[in-house]
Amino acid sequence: MSTGEAARIVVLPGDGVGPEVTSAALEVLDAACHAGGIPIAVEQRLVGGAAVEAEGAAISPETFERCRQSTAILFGAGGAPRWDHLTGDARPGSALIRLRRSLELCVNLRPVRVHPGLEERSNLRADVVRGCDLVVVRELAGGIYYGERGRSGEGPEERAFDTMTYSRAEIERVASAAFDLARTRRTRVVSVDKANVLTSSRLWREVVTDVGRAHPDVALEHALVDSFALRLVQRPRALDVVLAENLFGDILSDLAAALSGSIGLLPSASLPAAGQPGPALYEPVHGSAPDIAGRGIANPIGAILSVALLLEHSLHHPDAAARVRVAVDRVIADAVLTRDLGGTAATAEVTAAVVAALPS
């Protein structure tokens, strides 16, 4: 097949361990697509601090346009302490924030699994986490990340504010995605909010309840975010789909990483609402990990499993996605592990092992 018919993948490696884990993920994507006869055309561009230095903005207008025209975006990580003083569009994290909003990537899937053989690596007791398999569905294009904000005054009167705001339509589209996903899993949704205090959470709860009525086959439960955080570490196995607004979902998904043993294992997919055109973005949940960057020891599995999500949701090859997941499970079972999981393998060794384990 000619590249004209190939899916266009824009790769944005970014900063810190971003380039290390995206090149690992690309190796696996190439191998999986080659084995499955799936044509792709890959283009790499700068983002984050790397783009600030070379192009003067965290994401250039050209890169932004290439992303908009793509089938899918594979993102590494943006940001590092040396750019923390920057503000506005120069801030490395702003590229991701802009991409999510402009492309209306409102549905963020963050699956968390405790892989067989890694129970002892969890920060929690093995009997608490064994077999745990949940998905955080995080609202990603609204809420406090995008509400009105400001800073004024000086001295003790200096003040700053951010606003958490949601419309019914914004809640409906992400809630529908969570219920649809639950139908393909164990048909349970827990919706997380702070409805005892926040007005936006009260609307959230009403809308999710309405969407739940249209999905009577899915069991819906509402939970307050504080007690839910406790439940997430006390009884995680009972959880299936966890629906949360943008900020709560951000915090809870990092917390959920403690179940699996390392944040380096967690992938994510950021999708437009059902039926909406446009690219989706795939990235590991972790950041640029400046403390371990440049040493070839980052765990590539979160990025590799993000490729599995890309194969499933953007290239519509669930079979190829399943092969990547099987390969990852095999490598973990064979204890080819990076240091965050107590192993000694380098990023490149884990990656080569996954490629070698891909079923043909």
Site string for ligand IPM, 67-86 (x = CB under 6 A): ------------x-------
Which residues are known catalytic residues? 145, 194, 226, 250, 254
Please, which residue, 170 or 250, has the CB nearer to Mn ion? 250
Torsion of CA 36, 182, 236, 136, to 10 degrees: 70
- Tokens 């990990």, residue located: 289
Please, which residue, 164 or 305, has the CB nearer to ligand NAD? 305
Sort strands 40-44 and 7-14 into parallel, antiparallel or unpaired. parallel
Q: How far apart are the first and last CA of the chain?
A: 20
CA angle at 309 for the pair 306 and 311, rounded to the nearest 5°: 110
By CB under 6 A, tell whether 115 contacts ligand NAD: no
Instruction: Give the range of 159-167, 194-202, 295-303, 351-359 binding ligand NAD by CB under 6 A.
Output: 295-303
Q: By Cβ distance, which residue is nearest to Mn ion?
A: 250
By CB under 6 A, tell whether 93 contacts ligand IPM: yes
Other CB atoms within 10 Å distance of the CB of residue 273:
18
Return the residues of window 302-321 that contact ligand NAD according to CB under 6 A. Answer: 302
Whole-number minimum distance, CB 145 to Mn ion, in Å? 11
Rounded-to-integer distance, Cα 276 and Cα 282, Å = 17
For the chain, helix, strand, coil in percent to 5 are: 50, 20, 35
Task: Identify whether the C-beta of residue 29 lies closer than 8 Å to the C-beta of residue 307.
Answer: yes
Please, which residue, 76 or 79, has the CB nearer to ligand IPM? 79
Out of ligand IPM, ligand NAD, Mn ion, none, what residue 171 binds, judged by CB under 5 to 8 A for its kind, is none
By CB under 6 A, tell whether 250 contacts ligand NAD: no
Whole-number minimum distance, CB 93 to ligand IPM, in Å? 4
Return the residues of window 283-322 that contact ligand IPM according to CB under 6 A. Answer: 285, 287
Q: By Cβ distance, which residue is nearest to ligand IPM?
A: 93
Half-sphere exposure of 318 (CA within 13 A, CB side): 0
Cα separations in angstroms, 33 against 8, 172, 266, 323: 13, 35, 22, 11
Out of ligand NAD, ligand IPM, Mn ion, none, what residue 340 binds, judged by CB under 5 to 8 A for its kind, is ligand NAD
Rounded-to-integer distance, Cα 16 and Cα 83, Å = 12
Whole-number minimum distance, CB 138 to Mn ion, in Å? 9
Binding site for ligand IPM (CB under 6 A): 79, 93, 96-97, 250, 285, 287
Binding site for ligand NAD (CB under 6 A): 17, 21, 77-80, 93, 96, 262-264, 283, 286-292, 298-299, 302, 340
